[in-house]
Amino acid sequence: MLSRILIAAFLAWFSATSLALLFAAGTSGDLSIHALLLPGVIPVTVMTSTVVAVFMTPLVYWSLKSNSRNLAFYGWGLLLFLAAYIGWTTPNNAQLSLYGSLAIGVVGVVAIGLVHR
């Protein structure tokens, strides 16, 4: 049980951090890596993604508990979809991208957990 909790926490933190870095790179108006070099961007991104990962870990654990193969297959699809969504919406509307990706992520993890249940 502890190993599944740690795996769920790692998956939640990895996805939240990678998507938060993509979001931070897109807030300058275009997807630019130079936005990440501004002072304070990386620490704020890591702190925010850690808070999101703490709240997402129970959902990821529940989804992992139902069937780990579903999460391994559909989880990468959800991560790629969220990356495309963030890359497409962040330069135009950062607020929509932030809250929309969080809502889509929660709905996606719940849907993955309900597959084959």
Biggest distance spanned by C-alpha atoms of the chain: 46
> Hey, is 55 helix, strand or coil?
helix
Q: Rounded to two decimals, what is the model's pTM?
A: 0.87
Question: pLDDT (tens digit, 9 = 90+) per residue, 60-84?
Answer: 888 888 776 767 788 888 999 999 9
Q: Using CA atoms, how far apart are residues 99 and 94, in angstroms rounded to an integer?
A: 9
CB of 12 within 8 A of CB of 53? yes
Give the pLDDT score at 65. Answer: 80
What is the arithmetic mean of pLDDT over 90-116? 87
At residue 54, what are phi and psi to the nearest 5 degrees?
Answer: -65, -40
